[in-house]
Structure 1
C-alpha cells in the first residue's frame, strides 16, 4: 500500500488520529482500535493529564512498576521503586540489597553537584582581544543580565557558579564558548540553565555591538550558533560503595569467599580494559539506574548519555564500577555522574512519580543521586555475582519463564506446573516449548 502524507495531524481529535492511523496503516482493523482504547484510563481527568505530557498522544504505554526492598543506604532502610520491563532486574536488585544489609549496607558520598551549559559562537577576532573583553567587560555583564532569571534559584542556595571563555579555535576556525557552571539545588534545572544561556547569547551580541574596541568587520563576524545545557556532567557526581571482610562473601553457589572475590575482581578488571564487555557491564548498571530514574519522573535519556560519555572520558570506553580486594577487604564502588531533580517536571503531576518520591521519603536531589548510584551498583553486583558463579541464564531465564508461558497462553495450572518442573533445571525457550507441547498433547 502506498501511504499518503497527512496535513494537520496534530489538529485532529484523539479519535480522529486513531481512525486515520488504523485506516491508513492497519486496513481498518477494529482490533487495533480496541487495543489503543484498552489502555485509556477510566479516570478522564487523569487520562487528559497523561495526554498533555506529550504530543499527538492516542493511548498510554504501560510499564511494570515494581519494588526492590531492603536497601540500607547511609543508615536508612529504603524500598526502591523501579519502572522496568526487563525480567530479573527488580529481583536482582532486591537480592543484592539483601546480601549487603547485614554487612553495613551501601555508603554514598556526593562528590560535586556542578552542572554545565554553553553558549557556542563563531567570532573572527584575535583570542587575546576577546579574552580581555571577557575578563574586564563581558563577564560582569553576563551575571547582571541574568539576575532576574537566577533570583529564585539564588534564594534556594543555587545559581550560576562561574562563567569562562573557552578558546576552541585550534579545533574549529573562530569557534569559542561561554562555558557556565550552575547549581540547580533540587531541580534538574534544564529550563533554568537554558534560559540563562539564551540571555548570555543576547548579552554577548549586544555588548560586542556596543564596544568600540571591535572593528565593524569583527562585529559583523559574530554568530551565536546555539545556547544549550550539556547532559555531560562530570562534575555532578556521586559515589556509592560496599565493603566487607572477604570471609563474609559467603555464597550459596559453593565456591569459597576467596575464589568468589578473585573471580569478581577479574570480571570488573576485564570490563575496565575490554570495551565489548564494558558495554554490557555498564548496560547492567543502567538497568538499575534507569528503572528508578523513570519511576521518579526524571530523564533516563540524559542519564544514559552522561554515564556512557563518562565511561569513555579517557578515550576508551570502560567500566563504571571498580573493585579492590586489598588486605582482606572486598570493596566495590561506582562513581556516577548524574543530574536529576525532585521538583519541577513531572514530579508534581504524575501520580506514580509523587508516590515514588513519597516512598523514598521525599529526598533532596542529592539524596536521589545517592539512591540512583546505589541501585546501579546493586544491579551490577547481582549480575557479576551470577556471572562468576552459576551463570547469568539460570536466574534470568527463570524470570523469563512466565513471559514464555504467557506467549503460549498457558493456564494458571500450567504455569504452576512449569515453575515446579524447572525448579532444579535450567530454563531454555526450546525446553519450555517441548514440555508445553508434551503436556498439552498428554
Structure 2
C-alpha cells in the first residue's frame, strides 16, 4: 500500500524524481534518465519552463512544424503548428496549396465580445431587485475603474452589465451577465478581476439598500467567473471557386466531386456521430495553431463544441453550397484569442511563432486560426470522398511504425520506397521489416 506524501510541492525537482523512482518506477531502468534527457541544457530556459506550472519534473515536447502557402485575404502566410498527429500539417499544407491557385481564403472577424458572469441567489421581491440593480449599475462600473483604465486606453473595457433572471431554471438564481472587449489580450484575468469586484460591490450595495428587507440585503454570491462560451466572438472563413475548377484528380470529375463533397457535409450537419469526428478534424488544425501561439486550446475546444450544439443538436461547424455554378465552403466559429499576456510574452517558441505570423493582433490571429481549421477540414473531407482517409494518413504514420520497431536509417529509406506502391498497415510494415532484417 502506497502512503500519501505530504509537502511534495516543496521538494526540489531531483527529490520529486527520486520519490517517483522509489514509489512508482521501481521496475523501470530508463524512466529517470528519460525525464532528465528532456531537460533544457540552458538552466535559465529550463527554470522558465519549470515555472509555467507546478511540480515540474521534465518537459513534454510536441513537434513544432510549418504549413506554408496560405493565401489569406490576399496575404501569403506560413502557419506554425504544434501537433503530434501524423498527416495534420501535410494535409493543411496541401489544402493551402490547392486554394492558393483558386483565390485563397477569405476571412473576417464579425465580433470580439467576451462574456463573464456573477452567479448569485436572491430570496426576495424580483421587482425590488431590478430597481436595486438599476441604481447599483453605475457604481459597479465605477468600482472597476482602476482595473479597466489601461484596457480602456487600448479601446477595450466593460461593454455592458445585465441582470438575468434564471429562476425558471433554478429557484432564486440570478446572474450579472457582463460583456467585455479585451482587444489583443485573451482577457481571462482581466475579466475575472472585474467580476470579483462587481460581486463585492453588488453585495456591499445590497446591504445598504433602503428598500430591501433584512433577507434581501444579503444576496448569496455563488461564484464569479468568465465564460469560455463566446458565441458573439465570431470569425467567418470561406473558400470558393467555379465548380469546373474543383477537381485535381483524374479519377473523379469536378461535378461528381462537388456533389459528393456537399453530401458529406450534409451528413455531418444531420448526424451527430459523424459531426463529432468531422469537427475533431477541424480542431486538428485549430488546436495546433492555438497551442503554437501560446493560447488556451482547452478553452477554445470547449467554446467551439458548445457552439456546434447551439441549435439543440450537435452539428457540423462547416457548410458547403453550389450556387450559379460556384462552389463555396465556409465556417463560422467562436474564437477568443490573444497576442499579448500569458505565454505569448514568456515562451520563446511562442514568440517565434508570432514572428512567423508577422506579429498579428488578436483579430488577425483569429482569422489565421479559423483558416487553419477550414483548410484541415477541406483536406479531410476531400480525402474521404476520393481516395479514402487511410491512404494518406497511413503513409504519414509509416515513420511512427518504423520508429516503434527501432528501424535503422537504411531500413527506413528502403521501406519508405517500398510503401510508395504498397498499402501501409501495421502488419504489412512489421512483415516487410522482418523480411528485410532476415
**What is the TM-score normalised by the length of structure 2?**
0.99
Query: 1:184 corresponds to which residue?
Result: 182
SS in 2 for 1:27: coil
Once the two structures are superposed, what CA deviation does each residue of 1:334-372 show, in whole Å capped at 9, x if it has no partner?
Answer: 101010100000111100000000110000000000000
Structure 1 residue runs without a partner (length 5+): none
Residues 32-79 of structure 1: CA deviation (Å, up to 9, x unaligned): 110100000000000000000000000000000000000000111010
Task: Give 1:15 shift.
Answer: 0.1
Aligned to 2:298: 301
Measure the CA separation in 1 of the matches of 2:316 and 2:31.
43
Taking the TM superposition and a 5 Å limit, the aligned residue runs for 1:47-196 are 47-135=46-134, 137-196=135-194
- The answer for the alignment partner of 2:240 in structure 1 is 243
2:359 to 359, 362, 365: 362
Q: Which of 218, 232, 235 is the equivalent residue of 2:216?
A: 218
Q: Counterparts of 1:340-351 in structure 2 under 5 Å?
A: 340-351=337-348
Equivalent residue runs for 1:260-275 within 5 Å: 260-275=257-272
CA contact (8 A) 1:23 1:29 kept: no
Task: Give the Cα separation in 2 of the matches to 1:174 and 1:141.
Answer: 23
Deviations 1:198-224 (A, max 9, x none): 00100110110010100012224x100
Secondary structure of 2:39's counterpart equals coil
The 8 Å contact of residues 124 and 215 in structure 2, kept in 1 or not, is answered as no
CA distance in 2, matches of 1:434, 1:278: 36
Structure 1 residue 129: Cα displacement:
1.6
1:42 alignment partner, SS class:
coil
Deviation at 1:425, TM superposition (A): 2.0
List aligned pairs for 1:325-404, cutoff 5 A.
325-404=322-401
Which residue in 1 is equivalent to 2:310? 313
Is contact 1:253–1:389 with CA below 8 Å preserved after alignment? no
State the match for 1:36 in structure 2. 35
Is the CA contact 2:209–2:217 (under 8 Å) kept in the aligned structure 1?
no
Could you tell me how far apart the structure 1 residues matched to 2:250 and 2:34 are? 45
Matched, 1:230 2:227: yes
Q: Are the aligned partners of 1:3 and 1:25 in contact in 2 as well (CA < 8 Å)? A: no
Instruction: Specify whether residues 277 and 116 from structure 1 end up closer, same or farther in structure 2 by C-alpha distance, changes over 3 A only.
Output: same
Partner Cα distance (2:356, 2:131) in 1:
52
Q: What is the alpha-carbon distance in structure 2 between the residues aligned to residue 23 and residue 30 of structure 1?
A: 12
Q: Which of 402, 409, 412 is 2:409 aligned to?
A: 412
Distance 2:376 2:363 in 1: 20
- Distance in 1 (alpha carbons) for counterparts of 2:250 and 2:339: 40
Report the 3-state secondary structure (helix = DSSP H, G, I; strand = E; otherwise coil) of the residue aligned with 1:22.
helix
1:208 aligned onto 2:206: yes
8 Å contact kept, 2:208–2:217:
no
The CA distance in 1 between the partners of 2:149 and 2:259, in whole Å, is 53
Distance 2:160 2:413 in 1: 61
After superposition, what is the alpha-carbon deviation per residue over 1:373-415, rounded to whole angstroms, capped at 9, x for unaligned? 0000000000000000000000000000000000111111111
* Regions of 4+ moved over 6 Å: none
Following the alignment from structure 2 to structure 1, what is the Cα–Cα distance between the partners of residues 355 and 417?
38
Q: Secondary structure in 2 aligned to 1:165?
A: strand
How large is the RMSD of aligned CA atoms in angstroms? 0.8
- Normalising by structure 1, we get a TM-score of 0.98
Structure 1 distance, partners of 2:387, 2:209, is: 70
